[in-house]
Amino acid sequence: MAGNNAEDVEGSAGADCKTNSTAEVPPEFLIKHPLQNTWSLWFYDNDRTKSWEENQIELTTFDTVEDFWRLYHHIKLPSELRQGHDYAVFKQGIRPMWEDDANKMGGRWLISLEKKQRNSDLDRFWLDVVLLLIGENFEHAEEICGAVVNVRPKFDKIAIWTADTSKQQANLEIGRKLKDQLGIHGVIGFQLHRDTMVKHSSATKNLYTV
Ligand code: MGP
């Protein structure tokens, strides 16, 4: 995989893989299944000598189901990342930051995980969220900018970022589906980026809850 910090994110899945010659595979099985959007995978490096923005590295893009799975099996799971690191998957052209034009008026559905959930739920939740995104499984998928997973000492976080906080119906549909698909029983909240910007996330008020 291209990227300055590939050693931090590359998993070991490829190491023992025996590859079959593609010459044996009938051509109809080699067709790739296109996604509706092209998506970028970002990695936040947490290098203290760099600014927050400089730490955001766009590792690669993918636009087919097959390329997504190849990438997924090649990189570390969130639970294997160092604390302080993030992954983000955003529609190509949208940077995973509040300042991007696509995010300026937006917010996020935030799932905070308890420490013990790093072993039980973090990787599963992240994969489910990414599959929901790239599979365009939301009725209002056009409102979605991307998703972020933060690996942190206090508690890990997963969030879906949407574009326009004023679209109540669309945001609620996304929140309900997210909660339902992940099988979350507690309440989850939606916060405006402009509130998160000025407060610690734990204290940021919710605009919507489901
Ligand atoms: P964080 O990485 O989203 O969460 O934000 P963390 O580490 O759990 O910290 P907490 O504040 O939520 O408790 C950490 C810090 O990174 C923020 O306080 C900002 O300084 C910076 N930061 C985070 N985001 C998402 C952005 C962003 O979009 N733009 C800029 N400029 N800084 C950001």
Cα 58 to ligand 1 centre (Å): 17
Judged against a pLDDT cut of 80, whether residue 13 lies above it is answered with: no
Q: What is the pLDDT of residue 100?
A: 98
Calculate Rg over the CA atoms of the chain: 17
User: Could you tell which of 47, 48, 52, 81 is best to mutate to test the pocket of ligand 1, judged by most ligand atoms within 8 Å of the CB?
Assistant: 52
pLDDT classification of 21: cutoffs 50, 70, 90: low
52 pocket-lining for ligand 1 (C-beta < 6 Å): yes
Judged against a pLDDT cut of 90, whether residue 23 lies above it is answered with: no
- Rounded to the nearest 10 degrees, the angle between the axes of helix 122-134 and helix 168-182 is 130
Q: Can you tell me which atom of ligand 1 is nearest the CA of 84?
A: 7
Judged against a pLDDT cut of 50, whether residue 180 lies above it is answered with: yes
Mean pLDDT score, 13-28: 60
How far is residue 73's CA from residue 130's CA, in Å, rounded to a whole number? 14
pLDDT 10s digits, 58-105: 999 999 999 999 999 999 999 999 999 999 999 999 999 999 999 999
Q: What is the pLDDT of residue 22?
A: 59
Minimum mean pLDDT among 10-14, 24-28, 142-146: which range? Answer: 10-14
Cα 22 to ligand 1 centre (Å): 44
Minimum mean pLDDT among 12-16, 25-29, 189-193: which range? Answer: 12-16
Judged against a pLDDT cut of 90, whether residue 202 lies above it is answered with: no
Question: Which residue has a Cα nearest atom 1 of ligand 1?
Answer: 150
Cα 168 to ligand 1 centre (Å): 25
Q: What is the pLDDT of residue 204?
A: 84
Kindly state the tokens that stand for 45.
């490096």
* Top-confidence residue, 155 or 13: 155
Q: Output the DSSP codes for the chain.
A: --STTHHHHB-STTTTPPPPPGGGS-GGGG---EEEEEEEEEEE---TTS-TTTTEEEEEEEEEHHHHHHHHHHB--GGGSPTT-EEEEEETT--SSTTSTTTTT-EEEEEEPPTTHHHHTHHHHHHHHHHHHHTT-STTGGGEEEEEEE--SS--EEEEEES-TT-HHHHHHHHHHHHHHHT--S--EEEEHHHHTTS-GGGPPPSEE-
Q: Can you tell me which atom of ligand 1 is nearest the CA of 97?
A: 28
Q: What is the pLDDT of residue 20?
A: 53
Cα 201 to ligand 1 centre (Å): 9
Mean pLDDT for the chain overall? 91
Share of the chain above pLDDT 90, in %: 82
Minimum mean pLDDT among 8-12, 53-57, 118-122: which range? Answer: 8-12
Kindly state the tokens that stand for 65.
């189901």
Mean pLDDT score, 130-152: 97
pTM of the model: 0.91
102 pocket-lining for ligand 1 (C-beta < 6 Å): no
Cα 197 to ligand 1 centre (Å): 8
Q: CA nearest 40: which of 145, 178, 137?
A: 145
CA distance readout (Å), 174 to 12, 88, 107, 137: 34, 18, 12, 9
Q: CA nearest 65: which of 130, 7, 13?
A: 130
